[in-house]
Structure 1
């Protein structure tokens, strides 16, 4: 799922209504907080009635029969409103379940996230680490938030536990950062060519998420990035090769879902069906079009989703893209019955949970109102409705559609049954709460961090070494790290890692669009150093970064150019004689880069995509599978 950038246009809130909320916020928060605290006394951290029944069933029946019994009995006692609530996965505000926030009042009419759960009885909640929702501070805090929300769910409505989710793809889409274990993302794993590494990265990520009370990860990205100009997928994809992408998607599904007991694993979600890899627009801001024919889709985009289904994946996420050669209606895939029911359900045989991408994104809101979208999605074949702009409006719209006969209650039961099965299968019924005391021994532990570094060391890809600069046979006395970054970020981290090997190293950030003055300053600094490492970030859209690299090369100093996001950067600036790609800019990636520079490890990565020539995109500068070593 893509990061949602909330603003007034997305929330539909006018400046006037916003000011009214602000004027009454103090008294409203105080009143609602009193209600919230009075109505959400902590539920003892002991088995619920549902959990007791689940254990009894397990003792007397096969696991499949026990699950069927619990799902059937739970569905039977749920009201229509409760069933509809199970369809929704909502965002919440704040870092504690009982924390009063302005956002909760504005968006939900209650003071706290616990009261959101009690009021709407959603089936799930999703966490973010951005300023709009701000749910994440530390692993222990996340675990406490999860327990608080679960207690609210278990003491209200149909008393069904939540499935709590997030987008921990790793790499550039990482919601929970250090001290949680960080991996470099899918394309880096594609460069390693190691299904074992992909599975292990998913297993560790899933284990840490579950320790924090998160049972659903919207990963892995199963898109085949066949368009180098794709603005939203890129390194989130494993590869432009469908076979390689399929192999690593399957490995990650097994890593997330099969690496331990049910209470230690998470539900995986392959995204974005039917495939977002060939688009040139971002569905956050518009409605992209994929021009694939059915035959092209079957050959290029479908293999990773087939592999995910064969691996037993729990969930598949839809894309807000059109495919006019497959569904000429112009509807986004999220609202397309020919795509979600015809292709995903009938053709590929998927009977798990289908979740939408965020319903706050422009791609799904371009053609229909926020009231129409949930109903159309359900009619297309969706089960989980993710992040509607207005939860109350969305739930009411579905309820009204059932009451007027547009959607049958049996159709609602189909989706709720899939969702309840998912919760039971992942151990959320038997164990909805997590042990907060154990979180820090799991999340970011020494073993996980060492494994993350070992895996990342396999990913650095060397594409050019014309002057035989690398590995550095003798340590330079001084070095400059410059290029993309901001103060205290990647350039500083890399400079410290190089300095740890002996050279006196300086970091000089020039950002994504360096000015003439910044380029001049970098050139002056380079003239006083023995080695220059320049980091690049999406050169295709930044002529100024290209000018910076050219200017540094012109100093005559040894220059190592490093693409720290898209490997496509290496097709630009032919003046640079040394090019490496790391696919990510986290600390494990820069440490692996440093090891390669100093010859501590050899570059082992192989390109998972073709890299076009920057001057002529019809030509391939470096083909898929290319990678130097020494």
Structure 2
């Protein structure tokens, strides 16, 4: 055995070191493959869909197999005890998080400024195409996406006629986009479920029903059912996870402990089955005038959702005077978003505004969008006038009011969610 090891190039330790080196090469080539396909796609004007990324990685990995073949041919018996310095560490092989960061950074680096700015907007298909009640993705949608590479679209009852129609529309829209899209709706459960009601599906329990039963596992099961049918039609984001305390409406109830448990399990149920969860509406929908300490119970459901990995949190348009000391809408407040949501609650995911059309009587579309990004929002939701809001943000970046680094910071959070569950699929090829 010793002679065989020596004949093959040295000691067992040398061979293991060589095997580790080949694994690092493979990880690096996978990264280069991702970089290459994304770069070529953008330069050529093609779409860099996940299938293209996977295809490129697979082709590169087939090439690198020739490189590692020699190491694989080495007949090495496992050592009785492997010393710590011989273990393959995360630092030696690119981890999933490293690969995710690489994919995200590569996407952003190849995008023109106009596309990066548009990628921070979530609008309706009607706003995108300047049409009424969009029920099909056709030439108007393709032309609009070519001009405005928005980050997401939200679909309501008027966009849904039957199962085949909505599935085809979402699939076509996704294929038309140069970049990954959030395809969202507001599926809260019960009578207020947009998709289930539009398609005549068997209703799931409402938040109020779940909260009154107090069974958090049932909240998980309900969210899983919702994720299953949303995913089946092509939706990948549910904006309808209400984390507010209320005895009325779409809330799980007024008891902070109960609502916290329900929110946590709802987030888990959605996201475990492929649908990102957005918590509504931070910090509260009606201004109470309470400071952060006075809002401790109100904030607990949001904290629970954050701990469960909520991908997105929607900040309300109502002011929080007890926190800010003035009547600035929460979704335009740096104090609310940066100091409380990111600082005190430790949230690192996507912050999206409430509908900016709600504050159109006080702010122009452009001013509201710019103010929201300056205050710390990552995505702009339903501005009163999408074109004006987009042009306002683009001009603000071009004149230095908002830095490109600030745009990239938010876009990076957006893309980390969009690619988070696909890195394993990419690297496994």
Q: 1:292 & 1:57 partners in 2: Cα distance?
A: 57
- From 116, 119, 140, the equivalent of 2:164 is 140
Q: 2:238 & 2:379 partners in 1: Cα distance?
A: 14
Q: 1:44 & 1:378 partners in 2: Cα distance?
A: 27
Q: 2:110 & 2:354 partners in 1: Cα distance?
A: 30
Matches within 5 A, 1:358-369: 358-361=355-358, 364-369=359-364
1:48, distance to aligned residue in structure 2 (A): 4.0
Q: 1:268 & 1:428 partners in 2: Cα distance?
A: 19
* Change in 2 beyond 3 A, CA 1:294/1:215: same
Is 1:247 matched with 2:268? no
1:111, distance to aligned residue in structure 2 (A): 6.4
Matches within 5 A, 1:214-225: 214-225=235-246
- From 331, 334, 343, the equivalent of 2:340 is 343
Q: 1:161 & 1:167 partners in 2: Cα distance?
A: 20
Partner of 2:207: 186
Partner of 1:210: 231
Q: TM-score, normalised by structure 2?
A: 0.75
Name segments (4+ residues, structure 1) moved above 6 Å.
43-46, 54-60, 428-431
Matches within 5 A, 1:372-411: 372-411=367-406
* Change in 2 beyond 3 A, CA 1:56/1:408: farther
Query: In 2, are the aligned partners of 1:93 and 1:135 still within 8 Å (CA)?
Result: no
SS of corresponding position for 2:188: strand
Query: In 2, are the aligned partners of 1:128 and 1:175 still within 8 Å (CA)?
Result: yes
Partner of 1:152: 176
- From 103, 107, 119, the equivalent of 2:132 is 103
Deviations 1:70-103 (A, max 9, x none): 1111111011111001101110149xx9xx9843
Deviations 1:13-45 (A, max 9, x none): xxxxxxxxxxxxxxxxxxxxxxxxxxxxxx999
Query: In 2, are the aligned partners of 1:217 and 1:269 still within 8 Å (CA)?
Result: yes
Is 1:370 matched with 2:399? no
- From 98, 117, 128, the equivalent of 2:156 is 128
Matches within 5 A, 1:512-527: none
* Change in 2 beyond 3 A, CA 1:360/1:429: farther
Q: 1:358 & 1:402 partners in 2: Cα distance?
A: 22
SS of corresponding position for 2:347: coil
Partner of 1:528: none
Partner of 1:353: 350
Deviations 1:285-331 (A, max 9, x none): xxxx3222322212x21000000111111110111111212111310
Partner of 1:328: 325
* Change in 2 beyond 3 A, CA 1:137/1:426: farther
Can you give the 5+ residue segments of structure 2 that lack an aligned partner in the other structure? 1-45, 63-92
Aligned length: 346
1:356, distance to aligned residue in structure 2 (A): 1.2
1:387, distance to aligned residue in structure 2 (A): 1.4
Partner of 1:113: 141
Answer 1 or 2: which has greater helix percent.
2
Deviations 1:523-571 (A, max 9, x none): xxxxxxxxxxxxxxxxxxxxxxxxxxxxxxxxxxxxxxxxxxxxxxxxx
* Change in 2 beyond 3 A, CA 1:331/1:303: same
Deviations 1:226-271 (A, max 9, x none): xx6xxxxx23110111111001100101101124xxxxx1100111
1:166, distance to aligned residue in structure 2 (A): 0.5
1:182, distance to aligned residue in structure 2 (A): 1.6
* Change in 2 beyond 3 A, CA 1:428/1:210: farther
SS of corresponding position for 1:236: coil
1:184, distance to aligned residue in structure 2 (A): 3.0
CA RMSD of aligned residues (A): 2.8
- From 88, 92, 117, the equivalent of 1:84 is 117
